[in-house]
Amino acid sequence: MSHLEDTEVNRLLEGAAKLTAKVLNCWLVTLSGAGGANARPMGRVLPDPSLNDWKILFLTDGRSRKAAEIRGASGVELIFQNDPDEAFAALAGLANLIDDPSEVGKLWKANYDAYFPTAEDRANAAFIKVAVDRMELWMRGVTPEPFGMQPTVIDREAGGAWCVRASQN
């Protein structure tokens, strides 16, 4: 990758990081067992601000429909939107359901008890970790003009580097 391409990818990743940091809730889209898609708003677990490895974490109930759908098909989409900034992103990746009690315990914080008030609820608590490997971005002032006509697409190559791809619209 050339220095110019590297600079452009870094600029796009910085724009996406600002958007995702500003928006606390996003839409999680999973593949339904019937072949359609199910979308639901999700509040995410806020990451360490110094760490942006594009792994996004959610707390969920392991008995939920979304957990079952992730067990069946791990490919998901996350939709972030900030209207005042005219910034929108569709992030795609593989979701991993973390439901092993010892792993859940390592990630657990006392304030999660409010969402899982009983011992039975806490025994069914799980985390969803999405490893983002593709982004479609529409961000005024960051992605090319004319704004909104087509997304700017970046994806992760096998070695972990991010590359700008031609949009398929």
122 contacts 62 by C-beta, under 8 angstroms: no
Read off the pLDDT band of 49 (50, 70, 90).
Answer: low
Say whether pTM exceeds 0.75: yes
Report all structural domains of the chain as residue ranges with CATH numbers, in order of start: 3-165 (2.30.110.10)
Residue 168's pLDDT is 60
Read off the pLDDT band of 47 (50, 70, 90).
Answer: confident
Query: DSSP letters along 84-152, please?
Result: TTTEEEEEEEEEEEE--HHHHHHH--GGGGGTS-SHHHHHTEEEEEEEEEEEEEEETTTSPSSTTSS-E
Residue 46's pLDDT is 80
Does the bond joining 146 to the residue before it have cis omega, within 30 degrees of 0?
Answer: yes
Count of C-beta atoms within a 10 Å radius of residue 97: 18
pLDDT in tens, 70-96: 999 999 999 999 999 999 999 999 999
Residue 51's pLDDT is 63
pLDDT in tens, 100-156: 999 999 999 999 999 999 999 999 999 999 999 999 999 999 998 888 889 999 999
Whole-number percent of the chain with pLDDT over 90: 79
